[in-house]
Structure 1
Amino acid sequence: MMKKLLSKSHFYHASLLLFICFFILTAAVKNHSPDRENNGGSGQKLLLFVFGDSYADTGNKMKANASSWKPPYGSTFPGKPSGRFSDGRVLTDFLAKHVGVKSPIPYRWMKKKGSRARLEDGVNFAYGGTGVFDTLVAEPNMTSQIRSFRRLVHDSVFNQSQVQSSGVFFVTLAGNDYSAFLAKGGTPQGLPAFISSVVNQLAVNLKFLYDHGARKVGVTSLEPLGCLPRVTVHSSFRECNTSQNVAVNVHNQLLQEAVERLNNQTNSSTFVLLDLYSTFTRVIEQKNVAPGSMVFQTPLKPCCMGTSDEHYCGSVDENGAKLYTVCSDPNAAFFWDGAHPTQAGWASVYSSLKPTLQQMLA
């Protein structure tokens, strides 16, 4: 009888131990998130430094000059305008999550009280509407943004060894240089030479980042400009403009060659191309989409648009009355306005970029 009780007691203890081990293992698996713990295998917390335009801006652009600070922007996240050119999160936010940090503080906010504590995640230098050269907005172009980063390193806000070991750099270029070129009287005949100058300057900027410690750099290709709603509106959002996309492909081919040259010159795979052209195209055409990508029924049609050609998302009249319409479900739309994806759209793009991001962080 005693032997049976001991045997039974041993069984209960063994079962309890097994349950505890299972619980701990389950909790560990549950709490492990590959999107929050990608630190390149070093175990060291990473820093995210962001440069570029409205595809990356999370609040740098001045409130008086930007629709991103007006309703209905930010209606999905954080529930009010936050300086993001979307209904919610933009690509920077998804990349920050992937790197394992909070979305870095916008550079313009650094003078605010308590902002120094936010520097542990990095800094976002991107301003909506900018390019590698001066465009149609007064905000700092990419070269100026990188100089601001250099000043922070020079002033020991970040040291170069810290930047080299922990820094992840994200650079976007969404095409504002080309819009400005045409708006300032540039001709189609002069476009090929201008494309070369844009890519060359972008390569100079990337090399400058390398010279100041950057060792993990993701740079976006140009998205299919001919598929943006401000272009497809002329076909009632049914088809892309192939002529514009031909020019985009010239830019992207030159950029790919420039990135390959930089990697050869620096004897490393420091620079990684984040292919927005292919990711946008796959989502729009619903072909070979990545796991986690949504299916958008009318991907070329924006969720938010002006009530006439003269108005845009966020427009109001002198009495504050809305001169725009918003779709009932932003999560069902790929594009938010005439040029920018919704939060759901960026989530789908991010899903497609994940393998490349893993390569960058390896």
Structure 2
Amino acid sequence: MVASGAASIAPGTVYFLDNSSLSFKPKSGGGRMTSSDGSIVTGSSARDPARVTEIQGAWWIHGHWPMDDMWPGSRPEDDADCKTLFYNIIHDYKEGTHERTRSLPKPPFAHTSAHIESRRQGASDDADQRYKLFVFGDSFADTGNVPMSDKSGTSRAWYYPYGSSDYDHDKKPTGRFSNGMVQSDFVAKILGRDESPPAERLRGQNGVDPFGMNFAVGGAGAYEVSREAPTLGEQIDKFMRLVRHGIIDEDLKDSVALVAFSGSHDYARVNMSSYADIVAVAKNVVDTIADGVDRLQELGVQKVLVNSLPPLGCRPWWSRSNNYTACYGPQDVVTSVHNMYLKQKLGESDTILLLDLNTIFIKIIVSHGSSPFKHRFTPCCDSFDPVGYCGQEDEDGDVQYSVCSVPDQSFYWDYMHPTQAGWKAVMEQLEEPIKGFLDI
């Protein structure tokens, strides 16, 4: 939200702008005071509304306002959105938009100057800056939306060895289901960013990046979920609320959405011996994805990227039945049926691009002699327990997994997810189609 090296935008901060004439009015009147040196304006009491006012070229925000006066139906977890509202006020002013009524909870007292030089955080000088990115899906794209908790198969992405090759984050786990970057990060790189926009769950801590937001949650499904993780529809519901409340800019014409589901949960309980059951489940899943895309476009999202299903039978979870030497054929029936219906539903639109993960995964994994990976089926992080997970420890703290010495030589990181190098190889082949689709 601010230029590299500057403090993050937050209430209680002085900002120096090029212009001067913005006032911020809450829903009801309130007094204000000016300090003796003329540098601060604030409410006249702790219950007075917050104000943003220009004084000697500086903008100051301070005060308190109850959350239920901000908008109907607001939730306690929205308290931290005050910094986003402040950003929107400043941004609207710089874009020439007229005064907008807002009110803010009481911020922590701070006094930090920063120059607002860029609408989007982490932009390189020559990056294409047109598109905001909004991400929906599961662990293929999640960058920290699964809550951190005691280590388990669900929360494992917050623990070593996850993130162990992620030099951009000091080789520490960040909630990504890989040893480093995941698909949403590489889509963001194609748009000229350093990484995916922040996870929605962390917006109270990090604020809202005007470049976009990531709603994907590990364990989610488009239609079916195996635990308390939001479906695609529920992720879009949250996105819609944030747009309606002004937390996300309602102007979405320069935006692109990534819908990235791996199929792990939607097809977890399908009857593989029944083609009719596979077809029925696939139709439900694809219809749900298509409905979600329609909703995003009705909200104003301009372009949508949608994953095809990758070859499920090539994942280590299934290929281990062949000693990690070949894909498990029956699972690929699911992939074929899903992708056939997906193409029928979404393949003829100028505003939707299907990302053909199936073809690219197969080209990398199955094609003999042309794969850049020494280990195409064997996961880099392999659990000793066939139903265990990467990172698992026993009651004594002894590791119950092994990690390969050179992760970049493995396509898969764990039983389900590519390594950072695997995702890089996949997205390199999708970079030109995406750029052509977005005209960048």
Query: Per the alignment, in what secondary structure is the counterpart of residue 279 of structure 1?
Result: helix
- Label 1:36 to 1:61 Cα distance change in 2 as closer, same or farther (>3 A): farther
Tell me the distance in 1 between the aligned counterparts of 2:220 and 2:158. 17
Matched, 1:81 2:166: no
Alignment deviations for residues 21-77 of structure 1 (CA, whole Å, 9 cap, x no partner)? xxxxxxxxxxxxxx98563xxxx4421100000000010011224111111101001
Measure how far apart 1:91 and its partner are.
Answer: 0.9
Other-structure match for 2:391: 314
Tell me the distance in 2 between the aligned counterparts of 1:295 and 1:361. 28
What amino acid maps onto 1:89 in structure 2?
A: M
Corresponding residue pairs, total: 309
Other-structure match for 1:328: 405
Measure how far apart 1:288 and its partner are.
Answer: 10
Tell me the distance in 2 between the aligned counterparts of 1:156 and 1:167. 16
Other-structure match for 2:244: 154
Tell me the distance in 1 between the aligned counterparts of 2:414 and 2:264. 16
- Label 1:37 to 1:282 Cα distance change in 2 as closer, same or farther (>3 A): farther
| CA RMSD after TM alignment | 2.2
Tell me the distance in 2 between the aligned counterparts of 1:170 and 1:160. 18
Query: Per the alignment, in what secondary structure is the counterpart of residue 181 of structure 1?
Result: coil
Matched, 1:109 2:202: yes
TM-score (norm 2): 0.67
Tell me the distance in 2 between the aligned counterparts of 1:288 and 1:221. 25
Other-structure match for 1:270: 351
Residue correspondence of structure 1 range 215-234 to structure 2 within 5 A: 215-234=302-321
Alignment deviations for residues 101-131 of structure 1 (CA, whole Å, 9 cap, x no partner)? 342010001112xx22x41221000001111
What amino acid maps onto 1:318 in structure 2?
A: E
Aligned residues with identical type, % of pairs: 36
Higher relative contact order (CA 8 A, sep 6+): 1
Other-structure match for 2:257: 169
Tell me the distance in 1 between the aligned counterparts of 2:178 and 2:311. 18
Tell me the distance in 2 between the aligned counterparts of 1:205 and 1:288. 39
Query: Per the alignment, in what secondary structure is the counterpart of residue 354 of structure 2?
Result: strand
Indicate which of 320, 323, 328 corresponds to 1:236.
Answer: 323
Alignment deviations for residues 84-105 of structure 1 (CA, whole Å, 9 cap, x no partner)? 0000111111111111234201
Measure how far apart 1:279 and its partner are.
Answer: 0.9
Measure how far apart 1:251 and its partner are.
Answer: 0.4
Alignment gaps of 5+ in structure 1: 1-34, 264-268
Alignment gaps of 5+ in structure 2: 1-123
Residue correspondence of structure 1 range 346-361 to structure 2 within 5 A: 346-361=423-438
Tell me the distance in 2 between the aligned counterparts of 1:211 and 1:340. 32
Query: Per the alignment, in what secondary structure is the counterpart of residue 272 of structure 1?
Result: strand
Indicate which of 182, 207, 221 corresponds to 1:131.
Answer: 221
What amino acid maps onto 2:426 in structure 1?
A: V
Indicate which of 142, 152, 170 corresponds to 1:57.
Answer: 142
Tell me the distance in 2 between the aligned counterparts of 1:70 and 1:206. 33
What amino acid maps onto 1:106 in structure 2?
A: A
